[in-house]
Structure 1
Amino acid sequence: MNSIRARLLISGVLFTVVAVVLAALTIRPTLDQFVRRNVDASLESQISVLARAVKSDGSLDQDRIQSVGPFIRRGAGWAWVVKGPAGVLRSQTVAAVEPRQGEGPPPWPRPERDRDRDRMPQREMRPDKPPTAPLKESRRWRSRSGWNESFYFRTLTISTSRGPVTVTAGAPRYIRDRMRDEGLRPLLLSLGVLGVGLLAAMIGQLELGLRPLRKLGASLAAVRAGEQRRIDDKQPRELEPVVAELNALLDHNEQALAKARSHVSNLAHGLKTPLATLAVRLAEPGRDPDGSLASLIAQIDGAIGHHLGRARAASPGAPGRPALPVRSRLDDLVAALSRIHAAAGVRAELDVADDLYVACDPQDFDEMTGNLLDNAWKFAERTVRVTGRRQGARVVLDIDDDGPGLTDEAAAAALVPGSRLDERGAGHGFGLPIALELAELHDGALTLGRAPIGGLRVTLALPARSAES
């Protein structure tokens, strides 16, 4: 997985899901304990009330017997029973609460401290001293828990002069599940909402955290397109070393390119002088009878010009690629070529908007379009047409003529350095290849095709630039 965003997103989702699941698993036993304590508190409250009604001889004070809390609601399932020497007294809500401990599974897990508490020996409660301590205290040493198939109950045994009196209060076993589910559903819903909120916050954090990287990528693209010379230094602290290294690399590349261009240019100019001298000597009578040596000299001179053109091409982002207005440059070239080829009677049509700009060195642009327009004038019969348009991130120029055109094989051969398709005129076959290489060095392209007016169409595409650049 090559995406940082995908890695962080997947890991965050996994961690969030695991955390929510663990929280849900932890909540259930915790909620069980909470429900058990609430049920125990209700049972012990009723037992405490009934215990106060037990007299010293084991009889009951009817005026002090009453139901409290959930035991008041008839049909709620809560019930109590008092057994003693004087007989059995039951609540009116449910008739059967039999303390037969151990029948059926326990209604819920019991903490170890409660099991230890139930194993402690019971202390007797004197009838003249009814339980007045808080329920938590009295439960700790007077009550025991039990269950049967229908009830969960707690029991208190009171010693009297006529024998023990047992006070039992019970709750239906389904009460526990109902109370737990009533509390569990909103908690699980809250956990789900919390998980979704965490995921949304994580996605927002990813977008916010990765935004500087996207800006850095856009800045690098702008440098490559020549829209800015260097990457902006105003970056987050973590990216400052990366930006500093990138800017240092751009500086180093520009310096190395400038040195290489200087060396190539010096070499080419150093060769041109002796070549010019050699051409003059060969032009003397008798020096080159068949002209073959002069042709070789011309080819060498063309190759030197070709490499000089490559040396002039600036690297992406270098200062030599300003925003060049296309229409004004073409106007000057068309005017000059119209004067040069005035005898040919060729009419030039120019359909290029004034707001088209390209990222190109002016001299390279003139050399490319000048060679293409000159070829069009040489082969056109009556018309040379130039149209320009914006196509995505490029400006596309179509240079058409109404001459004989080229076949597909001839068009492919025309872009090979030194290849000439017409031996009648001057030149040595380096015009189209130089234009192609200069276009490619400026992140552009050059293709040959058939013109709508019948001749050759040369399409030159160069990176577009805004006028503000």
Structure 2
Amino acid sequence: MRLMPRSLFGRLLAVATLATLAALLLASVAIGHVLERFVMRGFDDRLDAQTMVLARAVDARGRFDTTRAIDLPGFDEAGSGWIWQVRSADGQVWRNGAEALPVPASRADAPPPPPPGMASERARDRDRSHPGEGRDRTGQRQHFRTLTLMRVGGPVAITASGPRRVVEAPLREAMLPLLGSLALLGIGLAAATLVQLRIGLRPLRTLQAALGNVIAGRQHHVPTDLPVELAPLAHELNTLIDQNAEGLAHARRHVANLAHGLKTPLAGLGLELADRDPDGRLAAMLADIDRRVSHHLRRARAAMPGAPGRGAIPLAPAIGDLVDVLRRVHADRPIAVDVAVDGVTVGVDAQDLDEMLGNLLDNAWRYAATAIGIAAVVDAGKAVITIDDDGPGLDANQRAEALVPGRRLDEAGPGHGFGLPITQELAELNGGGLVLGSSPTLGGLRATLTLPL
């Protein structure tokens, strides 16, 4: 299972969400701790006040004077949970009401008696109270403070206890709005994070759109007025685009020079064959070679800067001529051909169009059982030409193999395995593409050729 999202947006959002949740949790714990300490301080002050009042009722010999004992508010109400107790060195115990002190949660909560014979420790503990936690007979949590007084008769322990709910109730009242505020803060931070990611990743979407425009031929370079982190990438992309363009131009010039270099030898060969070709077959072959060389020269000139644009070629007559030729070539295979391409005009070289459609139609004719369907529609500013047959078709692996130059799937018939790759290359050079798939209408192979209008 993949934990980290594949997109940058998802990764940044996940990290920001985890960091925000951790910060909010830490803030709630820290604020809750501060609030508890603040409330507990008031609680302890209230208990310490009672122990100090009781301490004044203990004389120098360690005897407790009940007439001088005063119950502060809370301690004067029976059953309120506020309890005080005084224990002398000889074991006598005085307390308010009949309630017993809470049992300490552990011995560590009970203050240890001062070591005998150590005056410094006794002096230090004389005015120091010790906190503790415990539970009363009903199981309710109690918090107490114990003050030990050193008297002539021995140590006197004064303890005051109060119900823990006195602290918990205001804490709950304070924490509920606090948690609500933190939740609103979390929502605000989440919204700010989304806005930040949208704005921060916008240059990447701009760069992606610019690359799409470069691929489609609508612009030559990607913009470089990007953030400093992306500007070097834009410069590298522009350098790569220029290098590819230079390499393509060099290849085209090489083809043009080669084709131009063949024109003169072909012309001389034609003159030499003038008297040695009585039936004209060699002259026809030579004319075909010359026509192909002229075609590549025209393509090279069309690709040069300042060259005129491609012409507008109606599909209907071009496909009609090819169908008539193929009917004669494959006269032994009567195939029904359905053509629906009226009104669609493409902007490509006429010979490129004949070569692309000729390769696709010839393949369809060779493998079709009884029928071929040819249709063309306009979609997203492109001409989409589909050629279907009712032959055996190809699976996904075979369709990929069929577009590899020189790779033949059927060694029984004629051919060299370059027809489909050449068609794909010509389509891409003209700003289109070729996709092989399954025919939804005839059940065989569907070749989808996309060309500019």
| TM-score, length-scaled by structure 1 | 0.58
Q: Percent identity?
A: 33
1:145 aligned residue? 130
In 2: Cα distance, 1:306 partner to 1:436 partner: 18
Look up the SS of the partner of 2:221 in the other structure: coil
With over 3 angstroms needed to count, the CA separation of the structure-2 counterparts of 1:27 and 1:40, relative to structure 1, is same
Shift of 1:95: 2.4
Name the counterpart of 1:397.
385
Q: What aligned pairs does 1:126-145 form with structure 2 within 5 A after superposition?
A: 142-145=127-130
CA contact (8 A) 1:154 1:168 kept: yes
Letter of the aligned partner of 1:389 in structure 2?
V
Is the CA contact 1:399–1:458 (under 8 Å) kept in the aligned structure 2?
yes
| Cα distance in 2, alignment partners of residues 48 and 319 from structure 1 | 103
Match of 1:80 in 2: 84
Distance, in Å, in 1 between the alignment partners of 2:258 and 2:222 is 34
1:171 has 2:161 as partner: yes
Residues 214, 221 of structure 2: 8 Å contact kept: yes
Secondary structure of 2:220's partner?
coil
Contact map agreement 2:149 2:157 (CA 8 A) in 1: yes
Q: Which amino acid is the alignment partner of residue 277 of structure 2? A: D
Using a 3 Å threshold, how does the CA distance of structure 1 residues 103 and 389 change in structure 2: closer, same or farther? closer
1:436–1:192 Cα change, 3 Å: closer
- Residues 35 and 386 of structure 1, relative CA distance in 2, 3 Å threshold: same
Q: 1:395 to 1:22 in 2, by over 3 A?
A: same
Length-normalised TM-score, structure 2: 0.60
1:5-24 equivalences under 5 Å are 5-16=9-20, 19=23
Change (3 A) 1:41 1:179: farther
Kept after mapping to 2: 8 A contact 1:107/1:173? no
Number of aligned residues = 395
Confirm or deny that 1:222 pairs with 2:213.
yes
Q: Say which of 16, 38, 43 aligns to 2:42.
A: 38
> Distance between the aligned counterparts of 2:295 and 2:217, measured in 1?
24
Report the equivalent of 1:126: none
- Residue in 1 that maps onto 2:328: none
- CA drift of 1:213 comes to 1.2
CA distance in 2, matches of 1:439, 1:224: 14
1:66-465 pair list within 5 angstroms: 66-68=71-73, 70-71=74-75, 75-81=79-85, 90-92=95-97, 95-97=99-101, 104-106=107-109, 121-122=123-124, 142-145=127-130, 147=132, 149-150=134-135, 152-155=144-147, 157=149, 168-172=158-162, 174-175=164-165, 178=168, 182=172, 186=176, 198=189, 201-284=192-275, 287-289=276-278, 293-294=282-283, 296-298=285-287, 300-305=289-294, 307-308=296-297, 311=300, 314=303, 329-330=313-314, 361=348, 388-391=376-379, 394-397=382-385, 437-441=425-429, 442-445=431-434, 461-463=449-451
SS at the partner of 1:234? coil
Residues 364 and 79 of structure 1, relative CA distance in 2, 3 Å threshold: farther
Q: 1:52 to 1:446 in 2, by over 3 A?
A: closer
SS of 1:233 mapped into structure 2 = coil
How many Å separate the matches in 2 of 1:102 and 1:399? 87
Contact 1:310/1:437, CA 8 A, preserved across alignment: no
Deviations 1:191-227 (A, max 9, x none): 6765666556445433432232122112212211223
Once residues 299 and 183 of structure 2 are traced to their aligned partners in structure 1, the CA distance between those partners, rounded to angstroms, is 64
Structure 1 gaps of 5+ residues are 109-117, 124-140, 342-348, 376-384, 422-429
What is the CA-CA distance between 1:282 and the residue it aligns to? 0.9
Contact (CA 8 Å) 2:131, 2:146: kept in 1 or not?
yes
Deviation, 1:275, is: 0.8
User: Secondary structure of the equivalent of 2:109?
Assistant: coil
Deviations 1:172-205 (A, max 9, x none): 4644884697379646676676566655644543
Query: CA, structure 1 residues 273+43, in 2 after alignment: closer, same or farther (shift >3 Å)?
Result: same
In 2 relative to 1, CA 158–189 (structure 1 residues): closer, same or farther, beyond 3 Å?
A: farther
Structure 1 distance, partners of 2:340, 2:83, is 100
Residues 59 and 73 (structure 1), Cα distance of their counterparts in 2 relative to 1, 3 Å cut: closer
Gaps of 5+ in 2: 112-119, 136-142, 326-337, 363-372, 395-401, 407-412
